[in-house]
Amino acid sequence: MSSALLSDLRARGLIFQIAGEDTLADWLDTEPRTLYCGFDPTADSLHIGSLVPVLMLRRFQLAGHRPLALVGGATGLIGDPSFKASERNLNTPDVVANWVNKLQHQVSQFIDFEGENSAKVVNNLDWTTGMDVLTFLRDVGKHFSINNMIQKESVKQRIEREGSGISFTEFTYMILQSYDFSELYLHHDCGLQIGGSDQWGNITGGIDLTRRLHGGQVFGLTMPLVEKADGTKFGKTETGTIWLDAHKTSPYSFYQFWLNTSDKDVYKFLRYFTFLSVEKIAEIEEADAQREGRPEGQQILADEVTQLVHGAEGLAAAQRITQALFVGEAYTLGPDDLEQLALDGLPTTPLKSSEIAPTLTQLLSDVGMVTSGKQVKDALKNRAVFINGVPVEGAPPIDTALCFRSENALHGKYWIVRLGKKKYHLFTAE
RNA sequence: GGAGGGGUUCCCGAGUGGCCAAAGGGAUCAGACUGUAAAUCUGACGCGAAAGCUUCGGUGGUUCGAAUCCACCUCCCUCCA
């Protein structure tokens, strides 16, 4: 059945490279196996870049294997140099420890901790923190050849490129991660490490070390980097990174992100980010190709992924807002509906008449709709600013008191400001 | 420790005394066209409604005037020891 897993992954395009390809399918087929994937705390939340590996763990678990999610309490203190253009700043131990906590919790929601192949979260700080330098150098470092390490593609650009460089600290990262694999092999019988394609060098390092230290034969599997057809970076928008934490990226914004996926990417993303079968996705693609006009792929993608990350409630909230703003006429909603939208996560700001910003440009940049007043000016020129559906006329400065009068409010206290086609903000009278 | 090269606005990268808020590209935002897609075209892109204000690693200095010259400091890179 697991070779079925591999062929499904292959059909999804989720396999980039495999170490031990000849025997991996057999190994997976004979009995439930343990595998791991590492997540380093580089922020207080994972972002959608980590979603592919996280979901990969789940795919293996659904196929009957046991996933370990490793949180890099130790490696997060060092910083992975793989394919990074420059050295990064070190974060303080207490900051990293705090992030570790958050990641543990976050990763946990995607894998199942019940049943026979229950998942486990481990932290590599547990086995590195007590190790002294000499032991590390003699027992671990001795197995690594510098000649070999500097050959790795992942650090080559740092070593060869003029104007950059790599510290010993970051260079050592690979050894730490390799040691993780050998430890998990020893104590958890973990025989497979998965990761993004940038992790190939680190993974093969771990495979070599495990063989040298324990004579164990272990496997590695990497997933392709998520790339967009237009070549721009996946997972970033004007607002910045798309986080998995609902407090950092609301389910609504998250949902909108997927809904805005390009046609060229949407079916690939369905294969990457959902558990819909490859056949089902092919059907959707086929149906979209037949249909005139707007395809359904984005809708399905947004529904599926939002459900996975934010649950049924988060999805429902995101859909309610989307429905109200983009499908219906938002300014025909009743007061209860508007309250609900605010609760659902539509960006909302109460207006206190005493401390309201005097100009519209200032107000909109204060609430984060735009990053500078210039954008508002630009939008005004294009008649792209609307309050409750009515375009705002004129050029800045525009008096906010005139814009937000109770006469033009919905139900006496609501104003929906729209800037451009997609940005909405709800203001309420206090 | 020695010798040399470098730190420019989100990123890359021009700019070597006034014409510089600083070329060009990318990213981003808005408009048109569309389907909340792509491509294309248009506009914006340090802050400010404007007057104006604040930027070119840091601090001082020279000058009527500095991103550009000088001094010191700091960080990075290359080679040598």
A366 SS3 class: helix
* Beta strands A385-387 and A414-419, pairing class: antiparallel
Nucleotide nearest the Cα atom of A380 (by C1'): B30
- CB within 8 A of A382, min separation 6: which ones? none
Ordered structural domains, chain A, with CATH: 2-223 (3.40.50.620), 236-328 (1.10.240.10), 345-429 (3.10.290.10)
Nucleotide nearest the Cα atom of A85 (by C1'): B11
pLDDT (average), residues A320-332: 83
Closest amino acid to nucleotide B11 (CA–C1'): A85
DSSP A249: S
Contacts of A291-300 with C-beta under 8 Å, sequence gap 24+, read: A295/A263, A295/A266, A297/A261, A297/A263, A297/A266, A297/A267, A297/A270, A298/A258, A298/A259, A298/A260, A298/A261, A298/A266, A299/A259, A300/A270, A300/A274, A300/A276
Nucleotide nearest the Cα atom of A229 (by C1'): B38
**Ramachandran angles phi, psi of A34, nearest 5°:** -105, 135
Q: Which of A209, A71, A85, A87 is nearest to A149 (CA)?
A: A209
- Quickly give A232 CA vs B26 C1' distance in Å: 9
- Quickly give A374 CA vs B14 C1' distance in Å: 26
Nucleotide nearest the Cα atom of A371 (by C1'): B29
Count of CB atoms situated within 10 Å of the CB of A35: 24
- Quickly give A231 CA vs B22 C1' distance in Å: 29
A260-316: per-residue pLDDT in tens?
Answer: 999 999 999 999 999 999 999 999 999 999 888 889 999 999 999 999 999 999 999
Give me the residues paired with residue A415 across strands: A427
Nucleotide nearest the Cα atom of A326 (by C1'): B36
- Higher-pLDDT residue of A399 and A6 is A6
Looking up tokens 């970033």 gives A236
Supply the pLDDT for residue A293: 80
Nucleotide nearest the Cα atom of A382 (by C1'): B31
DSSP A294: S
Task: Report, in this order, helix, strand and coil percent for chain A, each rounded to 5.
Answer: 50, 15, 35
d(CA A325, CA A340): 13
* ipTM summary value: 0.84
pLDDT (average), residues A194-206: 94
State what percent of residues in chain A have pLDDT above 90.
Answer: 57
Q: Which of A235, A184, A226, A239 is nearest to A209 (CA)?
A: A184
Supply the pLDDT for residue A1: 43
d(CA A45, CA A158): 27
Closest amino acid to nucleotide B39 (CA–C1'): A230
Give me the residues paired with residue A67 across strands: A35
Closest amino acid to nucleotide B42 (CA–C1'): A382
- Quickly give A163 CA vs B77 C1' distance in Å: 5
Residue A203 scores a pLDDT above 90: yes
- Quickly give A360 CA vs B48 C1' distance in Å: 13
- Quickly give A294 CA vs B35 C1' distance in Å: 5
Looking up tokens 């973990």 gives A190
- Quickly give A117 CA vs B7 C1' distance in Å: 53
Looking up tokens 């989307």 gives A322
- Going A227 to A229 to A231 to A233, the CA torsion angle's sign is negative
Chain B bases near protein Cβ (<7 Å): 5-6, 26-32, 34-39, 43-50, 76-78
End-to-end CA distance of chain A: 60
Nucleotide nearest the Cα atom of A255 (by C1'): B36
Q: Is-contact A314 A341, C-beta < 8 A?
A: no
- Quickly give A374 CA vs B18 C1' distance in Å: 29
Nucleotide nearest the Cα atom of A360 (by C1'): B49
Residue A86 scores a pLDDT above 80: no
H or E stretch at A40: none
Q: What is the mean pLDDT of chain A?
A: 90
Supply the pLDDT for residue A161: 66
- Quickly give A425 CA vs B36 C1' distance in Å: 16
DSSP A44: S
Nucleotide nearest the Cα atom of A164 (by C1'): B77
- Quickly give A142 CA vs B77 C1' distance in Å: 29
pLDDT (average), residues A7-18: 95
d(CA A175, CA A202): 8
Supply the pLDDT for residue A162: 61
Residue A125 scores a pLDDT above 90: yes
A227-272: per-residue pLDDT in tens?
Answer: 888 888 887 776 678 899 998 889 999 999 999 999 999 999 999 9
Residue A81 scores a pLDDT above 90: no
A342-364: per-residue pLDDT in tens?
Answer: 888 889 999 887 777 888 998 99
Closest amino acid to nucleotide B46 (CA–C1'): A372
A213-223: per-residue pLDDT in tens?
Answer: 999 999 999 99
- Quickly give A238 CA vs B7 C1' distance in Å: 28
- Quickly give A368 CA vs B9 C1' distance in Å: 21
Q: Which range has the worst mean pLDDT, A77-86, A119-128, A301-310, A416-425?
A: A77-86
